[in-house]
Amino acid sequence: MKRLVVASVLVALAVPELVLAQTTAVQPAGGKTLAATMNVYVFPNNAQDAAQQSKDESECYSWAVQNTGNDPFALQKQSQQQQQQTQQAKEQAKQVGALIGEVANDDAGKGAAYGAAAGAVAGRRRARAGQAEATKQAEAQGQQAQQATAEQLQNFKKAFSVCLEAKKYMVKY
């Protein structure tokens, strides 16, 4: 790791204008590039300037959306919605479990209470088990949806990268 850092510093000192030109192409003034917002790292192999890189990234973004049917910004919103839905489902499972426990604990009178004590305990156990199962199921469905969204994003990044590589950029994500 130290050798890599030392070699990088030596290269940077030996060719400052090349490094400066390529650094400005990757990070233009005013913010991130389109690729950087998606955590895709793009390095110009042919000393393309910032304006050319921006144009190429925009063209490749459109091409990747058309070819994969996925827009990473829409996928990000979808992922957030999925997380919210999972959380809501888990909350509903807790509420249902609490409601069942309350019904099982209802006081119908002392005589019935003694006879139903064993049933109430069993009812609470079933309610807790049902709540735990519902929560577990909500989490599993949420994870499954998140995994599908992650795969869609991965496919988009592959298509986006292929397009940029064809335009003579080095791309990593």
Domain boundaries, the chain: 2-70+159-172, 75-152
Chain segment 100-119, per-residue pLDDT in tens: 555 555 544 454 554 555 56
Query: Would you state the pLDDT for residue 82?
Result: 87
Contact call for residues 100 and 127 (beta carbons, < 8 A): yes
144 by Cβ neighbours in 10 Å (0-12 / 13-18 / 19+) ranks as exposed
What residues does 41 pair with on adjacent strands? 172
Distance between CA atoms of residues 168 and 70, nearest Å: 24
pLDDT per residue as tens, the chain (173 positions):
444 333 343 333 333 333 333 333 334 445 789 999 999 999 999 999 999 999 999 999 999 999 999 999 999 898 898 888 888 887 887 776 555 555 555 544 454 554 555 565 666 677 677 777 878 888 888 889 889 999 999 999 999 999 999 999 999 98
Q: What is the pLDDT of residue 28?
A: 43
Question: What pLDDT is recorded for position 101?
Answer: 53
Q: How far apart are CA 43 and CA 49, in angstroms?
A: 11
So what's the pLDDT on residue 65?
A: 97
Q: What is the pLDDT of residue 118?
A: 53
DSSP secondary structure letter of residue 169: E
Q: How far apart are CA 126 and CA 135, in angstroms?
A: 14
Instruction: Report the alpha-carbon distance of residue 61 to residue 51 in Å, rounded.
Output: 15
What angle is formed at CA 91 by the lines to CA 87 and CA 95, rounded to 5 degrees? 170
